[in-house]
């Protein structure tokens, strides 16, 4: 008998509550040997397996009625190689744990998204990204992956020995096997200075190229029904002693109060009295936090997101962003979309990862949100029409309805990926109904 925690028919739901399933078994192995035994047993009993990270995806990627595995006991840094500046980390480690452990060793991740609660394996698997036109998504920071395949055996995939398999495994939605460990290339620890300020929609679009080129990290939020944009930039801060007079060291309280408390109050108002959506968006634009902050990089990337929402995000070719936004602005007004959450725009450098939404093209990611409990289908489908018109590729972890035929056209290496999937897992142990349908796998 293995020391595997399991329970019968457990209810599971994701962060946003968009996915609910009753699972036969949730397994939380303590060792790699236990993990292998679970995989072999499931395969022998014709059961399917999905692995869950922190459950922060909005799509039913981890939904299964059979076996759900969590690597919550396989976490932490295993090894730091100070010669190659790479770190080997267990798949169940959250980005928060990883960045804190790296900081203790004098290292940091090259870039991060806007929260740090995801597991490293989950973040890799869906192509999680931050922002920065010169920076790739999180999977581009990975140099090697230790994968447990459907036979229960470990396969090490490394950029030095098997580049093609790594390009398939870097963003693989858990379809090739279980990411037990990942090797990440890291940077010496660094500090950033962050600025937040208001700009008009038109000025932001006019300055887009300069803002992208001149800032390490640049993103902006446009508030529907207004001409206001919040710009956020971050750049390296080398001199810890001479901080600008207005720069704060830690504005966590402000982030909790303004970005969460006030947003929650306004979102509740919008949910209860739907006709207030324009006023709420306008008030949010007026309340944009303006100021600067200096801190260690990992403490600036992540912000608390206590207000729950549903989200759709597409990566469009970066040069199309101005047209995409003009169309979004026009259609929101024309169709009177009831939305008060700002539209988030970020930038990611192109890569060579087969299922990465930034494969082969510099990308602008445009995200639309709806407060949890408010209707989102109509709004998301209006937005999706625009994204798809500009050959947008959906973020795998966020809501979308992109059909298989379009995915085939958008991802030139999709068939190569599916061939490898079939070779590694011909019985489809790691598939669920959602993925079979999405990728037309029988
Ligand atoms: C509040 C919030 C903020 C977010 N911010 C960002 C952001 O800034 N940028 C961005 O790009 N995305 C963002 N996301 C989306 C999120 O980063 C992704 O959906 C990510 O995959 C979630 O990681 P997770 O650990 O929760 O994985 P899950 O959602 O649990 O799983 C995601 C996928 O990874 C697979 N997986 C998990 N662990 C393993 C493993 N060990 N081996 C193999 N496969 C595995 C699962 O099977 C599934 O296919 C955000 C989501 C939320 C809710």
Predicted model pTM:
0.95
- pLDDT tens digit string along 287-303? 888 999 999 999 999 98
Specify the pLDDT at position 268: 85
Q: What are phi and psi of 261, to 5 degrees?
A: -60, -55
Q: From the alpha carbon of 119, which atom of ligand 1 is closest?
A: 25
- Ligand 1 near 60 CB (within 6 A): no
Q: Whose CA is nearest to atom 33 of ligand 1?
A: 122
Specify the pLDDT at position 78: 96
Determine the distance separating the centroid of ligand 1 and the alpha carbon of 238, expressed in angstroms. 32
Q: Pick the residue with more confidence: 7 or 337?
A: 337
Query: Is residue 8 pLDDT above 90, yes or no?
Result: no
- pLDDT tens digit string along 101-145? 999 999 999 999 999 999 999 999 999 999 999 999 999 999 999
Query: Is residue 249 pLDDT above 80, yes or no?
Result: no
Give the DSSP letter of residue 332. H
- pLDDT tens digit string along 307-322? 899 999 999 999 999 9
Determine the distance separating the centroid of ligand 1 and the alpha carbon of 3, expressed in angstroms. 27
Q: What is the mean pLDDT of residues 267-272?
A: 86
Give the DSSP letter of residue 150. T
Q: Whose CA is nearest to atom 12 of ligand 1?
A: 128
Query: Is residue 258 pLDDT above 80, yes or no?
Result: no
Q: From the alpha carbon of 120, which atom of ligand 1 is closest?
A: 25
Specify the pLDDT at position 200: 98
- Ligand 1 near 62 CB (within 6 A): yes
Specify the pLDDT at position 296: 95
Q: From the alpha carbon of 56, which atom of ligand 1 is closest?
A: 26
- Ligand 1 near 115 CB (within 6 A): yes
User: Which residue is listed with tokens 């036109």?
Assistant: 133
Specify the pLDDT at position 271: 87
What is the distance between the alpha carbons of residues 212 and 184, in angstroms, rounded to a whole number?
A: 26
Specify the pLDDT at position 269: 83
Query: Is residue 158 pLDDT above 50, yes or no?
Result: yes
**Reported confidence tier of residue 47, pLDDT bands at 50, 70, 90:** very high
Q: What is the mean pLDDT of residues 168-183?
A: 98
- Ligand 1 near 430 CB (within 6 A): no
What kind and span of H or E run contains 43?
helix 32-44
- Ligand 1 near 348 CB (within 6 A): no
- Ligand 1 near 179 CB (within 6 A): yes
**Reported confidence tier of residue 2, pLDDT bands at 50, 70, 90:** very low
What kind and span of H or E run contains 384?
helix 377-389
Q: What are phi and psi of 408, to 5 degrees?
A: -60, -40
Provide CB contacts within 8 A for 404, sequence distance 6+.
Answer: 437, 438, 439, 440
- Ligand 1 near 29 CB (within 6 A): no
- Ligand 1 near 55 CB (within 6 A): yes
Q: From the alpha carbon of 50, which atom of ligand 1 is closest?
A: 47
Q: What percent of the chain has a predicted confidence (pLDDT) above 90? A: 84
- Ligand 1 near 227 CB (within 6 A): no
- Indicate left, alpha or beta for 103 from its phi (over 0: left) and psi (-120 to 50: alpha): alpha
- Ligand 1 near 54 CB (within 6 A): yes
Q: From the alpha carbon of 92, which atom of ligand 1 is closest?
A: 41
Specify the pLDDT at position 389: 98
User: Mean pLDDT of all residues in the chain?
Assistant: 93
Determine the distance separating the centroid of ligand 1 and the alpha carbon of 240, expressed in angstroms. 34
Q: What is the mean pLDDT of residues 258-277?
A: 82
- Ligand 1 near 93 CB (within 6 A): no
Specify the pLDDT at position 372: 93
Query: Is residue 1 pLDDT above 50, yes or no?
Result: no
The alpha carbon of residue 420 and the mean position of all alpha carbons in its chain are separated, in whole angstroms, by 24
What is the distance between the alpha carbons of residues 207 and 199, in angstroms, rounded to a whole number?
A: 10
Query: Is residue 285 pLDDT above 90, yes or no?
Result: no
Q: What percent of the chain has a predicted confidence (pLDDT) above 70? A: 93
**Reported confidence tier of residue 246, pLDDT bands at 50, 70, 90:** low
Specify the pLDDT at position 250: 53
Q: From the alpha carbon of 365, which atom of ligand 1 is closest?
A: 11
Ligand 1 pocket: which of 48, 57, 76 to mutate (most atoms within 8 A of CB): 57
- pLDDT tens digit string along 399-439? 999 999 999 999 999 999 999 999 999 999 999 999 999 99
Determine the distance separating the centroid of ligand 1 and the alpha carbon of 199, expressed in angstroms. 31
- Cα→Cα distances 180→33, 138, 263, 365, 423, Å: 11, 17, 37, 29, 19
Query: Is residue 6 pLDDT above 60, yes or no?
Result: no
- Ligand 1 near 194 CB (within 6 A): no
- Ligand 1 near 35 CB (within 6 A): no
Determine the distance separating the centroid of ligand 1 and the alpha carbon of 319, expressed in angstroms. 27
Query: Is residue 241 pLDDT above 80, yes or no?
Result: no
Ligand 1 pocket: which of 74, 75, 126, 353 to mutate (most atoms within 8 A of CB): 126
């Amino acid at each position: 008998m293995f020391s595997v925690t399991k329970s019968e028919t457990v209810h599971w739901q994701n962060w946003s509550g968009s996915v609910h399933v009753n699972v036969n078994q949730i397994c939380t192995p303590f060792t790699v040997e236990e993990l292998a035994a679970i995989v072999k047993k499931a395969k022998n009993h014709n059961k399917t397996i999905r692995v869950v990270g922190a459950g922060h995806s909005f799509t039913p990627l981890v939904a299964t009625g059979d076996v759900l595995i969590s690597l919550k006991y396989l976490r932490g840094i295993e090894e730091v190689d100070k010669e190659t500046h790479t770190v080997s980390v267990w798949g169940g480690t959250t980005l928060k744990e990883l960045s804190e452990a790296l900081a203790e060793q004098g290292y940091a991740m090259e870039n991060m998204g806007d929260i740090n609660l995801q597991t490293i394996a989950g973040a890799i698997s869906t192509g999680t990204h931050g922002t920065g036109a010169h920076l790739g998504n999180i999977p581009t920071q990975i140099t090697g992956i230790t994968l447990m395949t459907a036979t229960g055996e470990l396969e090490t995939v490394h950029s030095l020995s098997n580049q093609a398999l790594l390009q398939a495994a870097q963003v693989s939605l858990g379809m090739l096997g279980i990411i037990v460990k990942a090797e990440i290339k890291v940077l010496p620890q660094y500090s950033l200075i962050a600025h937040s300020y208001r700009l008009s929609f038109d000025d932001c679009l006019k300055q887009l190229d300069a803002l992208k080129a001149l800032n390490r990290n640049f993103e902006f939020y446009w508030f529907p029904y207004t001409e206001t944009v919040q710009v956020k930039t971050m750049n390296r801060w080398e001199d810890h002693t001479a901080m600008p007079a207005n720069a704060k060291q830690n504005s966590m309280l402000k982030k909790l109060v303004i970005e969460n408390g006030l947003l929650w109050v306004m979102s509740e108002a919008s949910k209860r009295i739907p006709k207030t959506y324009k006023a709420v968006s306008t008030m949010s634009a007026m309340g944009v936090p303006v100021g600067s902050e200096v801190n260690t990089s990992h403490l600036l990337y992540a912000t608390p997101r206590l207000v729950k929402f549903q989200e759709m995000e597409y990566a469009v070719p970066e040069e199309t962003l101005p047209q995409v936004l003009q169309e979004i602005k026009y259609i929101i007004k024309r169709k009177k979309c009831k939305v008060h959450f700002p539209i988030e725009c970020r930038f990611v450098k192109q890569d060579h990862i087969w299922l990465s939404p930034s494969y082969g093209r510099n990308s602008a990611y445009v995200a639309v949100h709806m407060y949890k409990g408010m209707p989102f289908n109509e709004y998301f489908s209006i937005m999706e029409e625009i994204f798809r018109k500009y050959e947008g590729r959906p973020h795998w972890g966020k809501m979308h309805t992109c059909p298989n035929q379009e995915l085939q056209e958008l991802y030139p290496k999709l068939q190569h990926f599916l061939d490898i999937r079939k070779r590694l897992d011909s019985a489809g142990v790691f598939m669920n109904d959602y993925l079979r349908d999405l990728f037309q796998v029988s």
